[in-house]
Structure 1
């Protein structure tokens, strides 16, 4: 039987429409983190196709559109699809809409049939957290129990939920300039974790640090970090953005998700463009490590940094998790012979 098997021996089908609420209900981190890890391995092993992310810039609206297609094959399954996503930072204030929204078309590789069209806003949020969890699992100390988060927006929730899947997190130090965001975060997780509101420096001294802000001037310095803090640099997603001072990425064990994307719009884009760092400062891509390459680094002996820009293969892996979770509840599209 085909790895896809969704449309085997079928002639007609109805595409499933999946709401943001259904994505939220059916995209469990326990399933998503290993799926995203498998996607990174497929990418490294050459069984994935992921054309470069394409951009449509809309400076008059302070935003942009991005298209992200991908196909991937693992030992057990294959999947394909495309995400159409926007980033409009003014949305919350102007329109009461999220900064990032998206739609994902999940297609059967064998026939090309669109199996599902799903809201990709929550999909994007959760798969981003899952990527940080994969990196944390390979790069952080095994007994990491404290997590610092700089930026208490929606991505902070995904960071905590995903990283708590791979490390025994007990203490969370969250930092943000917005008191309302901090209050909502504490209310959400205060009964499950020891949640503390702190400065950027206090958050950065934790075993694991996730930065999820849109800043263009670095807010984390080398002196803020612990001797072996693992940093997930998640916020930079466009040219000019930078959360960590250049010395951090220059001196740390630096892992990226994709060379072209990170040098263009990831955490390292600014020091790369100025020549402050070059290829010799990049120690590995995450796919290499997931696929079994030697770390040449002992977690616990130095600061490690994961520069994440978000890959289309992560979206495909996440969409597959949602689709098959829906299938398990009988909500899959109706087929007729």
Structure 2
């Protein structure tokens, strides 16, 4: 079976590696163009491109595959690369470009997507973040037959994963990436002998995982402590929940629920001793356990307080954008 692959970040790289290790022929890899990254803003290849080049896989990086779109020359080059590859199937994982209908129709077995949720819940760009933010008890991987809609295609295979109380997007991402790699191999092996069954997605229970915006990370202390704690975990590693204090934007990476104090205004520091910084919220309170100053590293709050004490009674400010 000739398996094309389209993907960009680490989540996709894990699947490409699993396909390669399983012995599938990968005659073409599509990935996003190199992007500026790091302090020097030098062009950096995506994790998928880095893996592909290290294993002698042909790579194409069109900015678009729409033949009548903004980059028609690049789209035509991408079309030629796809036709020359003579694919049986195209596996797609967090590619980042919309696939036009001609791409979906080109491979003999169509395009299979590795999606990090139990569809139809959390269609869209940020299913891992949104599942944690919403307090879901579990999530998983769905292997889907792609169609022209946004994650609306028939389901081919799925497996459920429990979300632990301390899971962050980073930890859950890694488990789902590994699971996605295993399931796509199983799906392709089943497809090779005609054993894949298509199941339409239910019409009920559809939710959308909209892209994470930096402004969402601003902590609004008026929210319940439980909601803020989930957002802290959902926004780790990006963009990081944040608040303002003494002219600095501090990022909060770890927090724990604590009892509130009746009448305390949201954002008020209730305690700053015994190794904890406890802040009143709209409901309950939060112990801020791990913080990061601008340009610094993540560190236990106790270490940060030694350098920059915060007294009980101080009211922490919401970061710009909170509550907008």
Whether these two folds match at TM > 0.5 is no
Q: With CA pairs under 8 Å and 6+ residues apart, which has the higher RCO, 1 or 2?
A: 1
Q: TM-score, normalised by structure 1?
A: 0.31
Q: TM-score, normalised by structure 2?
A: 0.32
Structure with greater proportional helix content: 1
